[in-house]
A = this chain, B = another copy of it.
Amino acid sequence: MTPENPDFHAQHSPMGAHSSFTLGMHHANSGAVSEKGSVAEGATLVGYRTASGQYHYFPFFEKLESEKDRYVSDENAEILPDVIFSKENIEREYLWATDKFSAPGIQMEVISPFDSIPDPAQASDDEMRFATCPATLVRLTFDNQSSEDWQGFFALSPDTRWTALDSDNNRQVIGGVSRDQLAVATTDQEAKSFMDFTHDTALDPDHSRPHFLLGQTCGLEITVPAGEQKELVLCIAYYLENKATFNRSSKYYYTKLFTDIKHVINYAMTEQGRYFALAAKRDEELSLRTDLNDEQKFLIAHATRSYYGSTEFLIESDKPLWVVNEGEYLMMNTFDLTIDMLFFELKFNPWTVKNVLENFVSHYRYYDEVFSPENPEKLYPGGVSFAHDMGVANQFSPEPYSSYESSGLDRKCFSFMTYEQLCNWVLTAGVYLGQNKDTDFFTRHRGIFQDCLTSLLNRDNPDPAKRNGLMSFESSMTKGGGEITTYDSLDHSLGQSRNNIYLAGKAWASYLIIHDLFKGLDTKLSEEAFSAAQLTAKALCAGYDEDLGFIPAVLENDNKSAIIPAIEALVYPWEFGSKEYCSEDGPFAQYIKVLKRHFNNIHNTDACLYPDGAWKLSSTADNSWMSKISICQYVAREILKIDLKDASAQADLAHARWQREGAKYHACSDQFTSGQAIGSLYYPRIVSNILWLKETC
C-alpha cells in the first residue's frame, strides 16, 4: 500500500482523545493538537543534522522557520544549504495502523494502533488503560552511512510555550510539556530534549541552555555516530484534565485511568511493544485482503485515521459517554453520521452504538406534530423523532434541540431532519440488535420502536386511508418550513425529505426492521409495519419511469434527477440479518429488481459517474459524499450482486485521488465537487467503507 503520491495529510490519533498528530502533506503546516477540527498550526521538524552543520528534513512544515544563519556557532563557518527531501526522495507506506515515511538516511513510522474499546461495564482498568492511553508513538530510524556523526531530531513548533519534563537530576521522562496537556517525550535515555525558538537555535545554539523557555519549539535529539543505525521511539501525549463538555459536565475517560501526562508517557513508552504488535496485526489484516485493491485499502486506512481523530470518549457521573465529533464542524454525535459509522463501530465496539442511541433517547428525543405543506397551519398528530446532533464544540445544546436545526426554513440547509433522524434511530438500533443479543436494550426501548412506527406512519399521512408509503407531512418543528436530509447542501434531488426516494428507502428498511423485531411479540404491530414497507416498495416501484430508466429522486413536481442513494437503505435489512428482503427472489423481489435496473441505468457518465469514473450521487448536482458512495458501492456489489467490472477499480482510484489530491490538506474529507473537497473536511464518516471488508463477491 504505497500511494502513488505521498504528499497528503493524515491524522494519527489515539482512540477517543479527540486529538490528532496530523502530517504528511509537503510544505504545509502540521502538528499535534486537541479538540480542533482541522490541522494544527505549526511545524513538525524531523531529520538529522550532520556534524558539519547540514540539515536534512522531511518537508512537514509550511515554511522553514530557521535561524541558523543567525545562530550558527562559528561565525566563520560555511553554512551548508538545507536538504529538504523532495517528493521523489520520499517513500510512504500507508498501512491501516502504520504510516511510514522513508527518505535517505531516515525512516519515520507514526503508529496508530486501534482495536476494540472494551465495554467499560465489563472491562478491567488495565484493559481500559491500554485502549484509552492518549498518546501516539513515533519510531524514528536513522541510518548513518556517512563518515561523520549526525544529530537525529524530532520537534514540534506550535504557538505555545513548553516546560522540560527532564532535568539534570531526573531523566526518567525526557521531553517537554505544554500546559500539562501536550507533550513530546521519550524514555530512551540516549535522547536529549530541547526547547528553543527554532530547532536550529537549539541544535546550533549561541547559548548553552538546552531548555530556553521563551521558544515555541520543543523536541528530542539523539546522536547517530558515523556508520551506525539508531532507533528512537518517542510519543506525542495528550492530557485534558478538566471539564471536557459544557452544559453537561464530563471529563475524558482516560483521566480516570491516568493521573497526569507523565503517567501517559510512561505507560505508552512501557507498553510500546504491545502497541507495535497491535498495529502490526491491523496492518497485516488489511494488507492480506487480496480481494481489495490498494486504493480501497488506502481509503479504508485513511478513513479509519480520520474517524479516530474525531472520537471523544468521556465519562459523565461515572458513566461512559461516547461522542464522535463531526470533523471540521465539531458537532457532537450528529445522528446522520452515527448511522453511517455504525458498521465500523459495530465491528469494533458495539457498546458505543448503544451508548449514543440511549443518549438520543434520554436527551435528544422529541414528539412533534405534522402538517401538510399545502396547509401549514393545520397540525395533526406527529410522533417521536431525534435531534440532528447533541451540540457543537463540546457544548451540549439545550435538550431536545440540536445545534444545527433551525425552524422557519423550507428545505434549505439547517432545516430540521425529523424524518431522517427518526429512520436513523430505528435503523441504528435495529442493526445493533440484529448483530448483538441485547434483549435488555430491546426490552427497555420497545416503546420507542413502537413510537417510531407511529411517527413514521403519521408522516406519511395522519389519515391511514390516505397513506402511500412516502413521507408527505412536515414536522411542526420546522414552523411551517420543510425538512431536509443529511444531503443538506444538495439540490432537492437529495436535499428535500418529502417524497424523496432516498428517505423512502430508509423508511422501507425501518418498517422491515420493526416488523422483524416485533414478530411473535406483537403481531398486529409487526404486520402493520410490514404492510407499510410493502406500501413504500410499491410506491417506489410505481415511481420507476420507463422513459427515464430510473426512479426520479423526488416523486413530485416532475423531478428528473437520478440518484445513486436510492439503493442505499438496502444495507440495513442486510446488516440486520434479514437478507431475504434484498433478494430478487424474496418478498420484495420487484422492488429489488427495480433498484437494480435503476442503478444499472444511471451508473454511467450521462448520469451518475464523473468522467474519471468517480461516483456522482445525483445526476443534477456536482456534490458527492464519499461516505455515502462507500455504502452504495457495497450495496451494488455485495447486496445487488452487480458486477461493476473494471469500473469499480477505476472508481476506487478516482476516489483515492479525491482524498490525496482534492483533500490533501484536510486529511480525509467527505464532500467533493468535481474531486475537490468543499466541505465536511477532516471527517469521521468515511469509515462506512469498513463494509468493503465484508464483501464476499
Contacts and interface: CB of A to CB of B under 8 A. Distances in A.
Interface string A210-246: 0111100000000000000000000000000111001
A406 interface: yes
Contacts of A208: 406-408, 479
B414 A247 contact: no
B214 A403 contact: yes
A255 interface: no
Nearest to A179: B246
Contacts of A162: 395
Interface in A162-181: 162-164, 167, 178-180
A519 interface: no
Nearest to A414: B207
A577 B246 CA distance: 54
Interface stretch (A2-10, A312-320, A386-394): A386-394
Contacts of A391: 213
Contacts of A412: 206
A180 B331 CA distance: 18
B330 A408 contact: no
A167 B391 CA distance: 16
A395 B161 CA distance: 8
A586 interface: no
A205 interface: yes
A329 interface: yes
A385 interface: no
Contact of A395 (B179, B205, B481): B179
A393 B162 CA distance: 9
Chain A, interface residues (CB within 8 Å), range: 35 or more
Nearest to A329: B214
A398 to B, nearest CB: 6
B180 A414 contact: no
Nearest to A415: B207
Interface string A184-225: 000000000000000000000111110111100000000000
Interface in A78-128: none
Interface of A: 160-164, 167, 178-180, 205-209, 211-214, 241-243, 246-247, 329-331, 391-395, 397-398, 403-404, 406-409, 412, 414-415, 479, 481
Given A161-B330, A179-B394, A205-B408, 4 more contacts: A180-B243, A206-B409, A207-B406, A213-B392
25 contacts: A161-B393, A161-B403, A163-B247, A163-B395, A163-B398, A164-B398, A178-B395, A179-B395, A206-B408, A206-B409, A207-B406, A207-B408, A207-B414, A207-B481, A208-B406, A208-B407, A208-B408, A208-B479, A209-B408, A211-B398, A212-B406, A213-B395, A214-B331, A214-B414, A241-B243
What 6 pairs across the A-B complex have the smallest Cβ distances? A208-B408, A213-B403, A207-B406, A209-B406, A161-B393, A207-B408
